[in-house]
Homo-oligomer: A and B are copies of this chain.
Amino acid sequence: MTKIVQTAVVGVTGYAGAELARLLLHHPRLKGKPPVFAGRVDSKDLARGGVPLSEIHPQLRANNGSGDWKLEPFSWELLAGRGVDVLFLATPHEQSREWVPEALKRGLRVIDLSGAWRLNEAAHRAVYAFADEGSEIAVATQAQAVYGMPELYRGQIGGARLIANPGCYATSVILPLKPLVAAGLVDLDRGIVADAKSGVSGAGKAPTAKTHFMSAADNLSAYGVFAHRHTGELLEQIGVSASGIVFTPHLLPIPRGILSTIYVHFRKLQTHESVAQVYREFFAGSPMVRLYEKSLPQIQYSVRTNYADIGFQLDAGGRRAVIVSCLDNLLKGAAGQAVQNLNVMLGWPESEGLA
């Protein structure tokens, strides 16, 4: 007889947090055990018993007949008192950096959606300027972290106590590239181009000049050229040097979804079938990847699903390919992948609660 797992979510107020709340509230294995939603709640909110989640995310509102979920003030005692087993952090990386060691010490398993524990090389972490960089505790914590991409690390995720959930752009570029690079198909000397485009939810919930409707709508802009902080993840996970790939993010005038167009040269002549074969083998046991063999994926097909969609086309000469990958930045790029990691961690079917 299995004990029902108790989850908690910190950082439910953002876009990824809302998706995480929705997924966990409907997860079949968590029926009857709603997550604890914890965060900053002031005394006035406390007086009325916490903040209803539906005030923050009206789309999570239950109908008039039923109850509603509350955001409660965070404390380690709250988590202990409620018997929390697995802690999801959808918090800024600074906060994750601080809380994860404490959570591990208290015996919690942690799935961290921030960039706090994704990077092995100090040079790549430099962009985050972590206050505890190089400290004993940070080094020890990083050593426990497993990069939470089940398609690459399924085995290690099972026993992991700390999952570093990948970045949305990183997922969108690593998944289509890793199989080809790992199989030795790609001519790394010729350089890879990853031209990625993301919906506005990727830019966060804070109202800024960039996320103002008037700036984002009817527009497209490139940003973070040669400087986006997801680059370190790409390099480490794909196994290329900084000079071997250019990654350029763009802001699309849509709410959600990422499409990455990736350009590679092959070391030897390939056929559509030889490339497809590499993908099929790599993703054989991966229920959340869909290969497009006769057409190319589009953002619309993957949005509001946890699928990573991958398609490609070779030039007539068989020496170059354009690969197109699509996913929902809030699901396979964040909350969905986090739940996928939960499933793998606990030995549940990988796509449970994600269909």
Given A214-B15, A301-B58, check contact A222 B324 (CB 8 Å): yes
14 contacts between A and B (CB under 8 A): A26-B355, A59-B302, A63-B286, A63-B289, A64-B289, A191-B320, A195-B195, A213-B217, A220-B252, A222-B261, A225-B322, A226-B313, A246-B315, A263-B263
Residues of B within 8 A of A324 (CB): 222
Q: Which of A101-109, A111-119, A126-134, A202-210 contacts B (4 or more CB under 8 A)?
A: A202-210
Residues of B within 8 A of A302 (CB): 59
**Of B212, B246, B304, B315, which contacts A212 at CB under 8 A?**
B212
Residues from 301 to 327 in A contacting B, C-beta threshold 8 Å: 301-305, 307, 313-317, 319-320, 322, 324
Pick the most buried of A26, A208, A243, A319: most chain B CB atoms within 10 A of its CB.
A243
A30 at the interface (CB under 8 A from B): no
Given A222-B296, A248-B322, check contact A213 B301 (CB 8 Å): no
A168-193: CB near B (< 8 Å → 1, else 0) gives: 00000000000000000000001101
Contact across chains for A212 and B207 when beta carbons are under 8 A apart: yes
Residues of B within 8 A of A212 (CB): 205, 207, 211-213
Number of interface residues, chain A, beta carbon within 8 A: 79
Contact across chains for A225 and B313 when beta carbons are under 8 A apart: yes
Given A64-B280, A243-B317, check contact A220 B299 (CB 8 Å): yes
Pick the most buried of A213, A246, A290: most chain B CB atoms within 10 A of its CB.
A213
- The distance in angstroms between the C-alpha atoms of A252 and B225, with both chains bound, is 20
**Shortest Cβ gap from A158 to chain B (Å):** 20
- The distance in angstroms between the C-alpha atoms of A204 and B222, with both chains bound, is 25
Contact across chains for A220 and B316 when beta carbons are under 8 A apart: no
A255 at the interface (CB under 8 A from B): yes
Given A225-B296, A261-B195, check contact A246 B320 (CB 8 Å): yes
Contact across chains for A59 and B219 when beta carbons are under 8 A apart: no
Residues from 11 to 63 in A contacting B, C-beta threshold 8 Å: 15, 26, 58-59, 61-63
Contact across chains for A200 and B213 when beta carbons are under 8 A apart: yes
- Chain B residue with the shortest CB-CB distance to A197: B220
Pick the most buried of A263, A287, A351: most chain B CB atoms within 10 A of its CB.
A263
- Chain B residue with the shortest CB-CB distance to A217: B255
A235 at the interface (CB under 8 A from B): no
Given A220-B197, A283-B64, check contact A248 B261 (CB 8 Å): yes
- Chain B residue with the shortest CB-CB distance to A224: B313
Residues of B within 8 A of A261 (CB): 195, 222, 248, 250
Residues of B within 8 A of A15 (CB): 214
**Shortest Cβ gap from A18 to chain B (Å):** 11
**Shortest Cβ gap from A245 to chain B (Å):** 10
Residues of B within 8 A of A298 (CB): 58, 219-221
